[in-house]
Amino acid sequence: MAPVFWQHLTVRARQWVALNIIAVIGGGLALDARFGWPGQIAAIFWTLCVFGWLYRKGTTNERRLLLLCTAISAVGEVVLSLVWGLYDYQFHNVPLFVPPGHALLMTLGLLSAPMLNKPAVAAISLAAAAWGVYAWWAGFDRFGAALFGVYAFCMVFGRARALYAAMFVLALTMELYGTALGNWAWAPQTRWLGLSQSNPPFSAGAFYCMLDLLVLAALAALPRPVPAVTGAE
């Protein structure tokens, strides 16, 4: 079974954490899009404040998870955006709120995952697979269809299936919101592969699933083992 995090907090406290994460992601992206550089600086400050607040509330495992997710996602952002050019932020950089923001989104996924039972996970996966077939056949998001394979890989080889399904939905929601505001934009065609892609690809959440898989694997590899607590699936 996959490990469960933040269980030392009360239900009310976990709800408060989730609300703060939703607020900083939604509000921070709105500030960044509306006010340019001053807005981006404000979003960075807000994100770091929430990140620091969560770090103080966390146990050793949660603190390690936050730091690992931030570090791994920072590398991923450089590779996917600056090197591969799959998407581009409005100032052609990687905003400093993005890597810790990934850690906050993963925390939201961990809090949401216990609410998904196996039928819900299966329904999300089947719906995504069906849309992937249609997107490839219609030709408007073939990269998204191919990227679904990353999600499938996580579901087959990872333990936290409810987490991956939750992250798939949460990440797609955030991607739709961020691209609608203009914080970033996905290229109409993938560099090197030449595949069409939507703005955003429907399975952009697969990248977040792979990030979570890597973070959990890295956390488990650290000297202090992760408690195997039932409930994340």
The tens digit of pLDDT for each residue in 45-71 reads 999 999 999 999 999 999 999 999 999
How much is the pLDDT for 89? Answer: 98
How many angstroms separate the most distant Cα atoms in the chain? 49
Angle between helices 118-138 and 161-181 (to 10 degrees): 50
How much is the pLDDT for 232? Answer: 41
Note the pTM of the prediction, 2 decimals.
Answer: 0.93
Residue 228 covered by a domain:
no
Residues 6+ apart with CB under 8 A from 62: 5, 6, 54, 107
Residue 140 covered by a domain:
yes
Residue 87 covered by a domain:
yes
Residue 198 covered by a domain:
yes
Residue 36 covered by a domain:
yes
How much is the pLDDT for 59? Answer: 94
pLDDT, mean of residues 72-76: 98
Cα 12 from Cα 35, distance rounded (Å): 33
Instruction: Please determine, for residue 113, whether its predicted confidence score (pLDDT) is greater than 60.
Output: yes
For the chain, give the percent of residues with pLDDT over 90.
92
Residue 3 covered by a domain:
no
Instruction: Please determine, for residue 3, whether its predicted confidence score (pLDDT) is greater than 70.
Output: no
Number of structural domains (the chain) is: 1
